[in-house]
Amino acid sequence: MTPKPVHLAVYDTYADWETGHATAHLARAGYEIRTLGPSAQPVRSIGGLRVLPDLALDDVRPEDSSLLILPGADLWDTSDALAPFARKARAFLDAGVPVAAICGATAGLAREGLLDGRDHTSAVSFYLAATGYAGGSRYRDADAVTDGNLVTAGPTEPVAFAREVFGLLGVYEGEVLDAWYRLFHDSDAEAYAVLEKAGALG
């Protein structure tokens, strides 16, 4: 059975390097990746990539998605322009549909109150503390954290972020998931053979 699409949020200044591992391997595993913008108008990433969103934010429903991915962006910290994406994340989580947030998107979720009662991580604890959120006691000093249907990670951990997403969706599990992480994070050549045997290399 074909899985529901994965929705990747895109907005001006989004950090294009943070979600590439996740989306590339999800696509290889049979997920359609659909980009989700503030509107149907083009956006430009922090790396200068011009992206025409497949959908506007208002056009996606949690029940039509397998996962919402929120990358970091300068706009998370410089304005309220991306607050609607945090509100959409709330709708996804309330509906039992996973959300994965990395870098500045974690601050957006903190401002929305979505981290107050969930284990989470980010760049550093004081970055989230500056949002005034009430979830400081649930902060974990880890590369990436999964609590229920929510994945969080800091900006330097795109591989750990992807690992948590794969585990949450059951794309890779156990030894294969561990080997994927060791190959792409640690350049462990022995992990390649595990992935090749499992048919997890494409």
Encode pLDDT of 9-18 as tens digits.
999 999 999 9
> In this structure, are 132 and 187 located in the same domain?
no
CA separation, residue 75 to residues 44, 46, 80, 132, 199 (Å) = 12, 10, 8, 18, 39
> In this structure, are 188 and 101 located in the same domain?
no
What's the pLDDT score for residue 131?
97
**Cα separation, 86 vs 191, whole angstroms:** 36
**Cα separation, 91 vs 65, whole angstroms:** 12
Residue 8 burial (C-beta neighbours within 10 Å; 0-12, 13-18, 19+): buried
What's the pLDDT score for residue 69?
98
Q: Which residues are catalytic?
A: 103
> In this structure, are 98 and 55 located in the same domain?
yes
Q: How confident is the model at residue 149 (pLDDT cuts 50, 70, 90)?
A: very high
Q: What is the pTM of this model?
A: 0.97
What's the pLDDT score for residue 202?
63
> In this structure, are 177 and 118 located in the same domain?
no
> In this structure, are 71 and 118 located in the same domain?
yes
The parent domain of residue 181 ranges over 173-202
> In this structure, are 77 and 177 located in the same domain?
no
Q: How confident is the model at residue 19 (pLDDT cuts 50, 70, 90)?
A: very high
> In this structure, are 20 and 84 located in the same domain?
yes
Encode pLDDT of 44-64 as tens digits.
999 999 999 999 999 999 999
The strand pairing partners of 50, in sequence order, are 44
Structural domains counted in the chain: 2
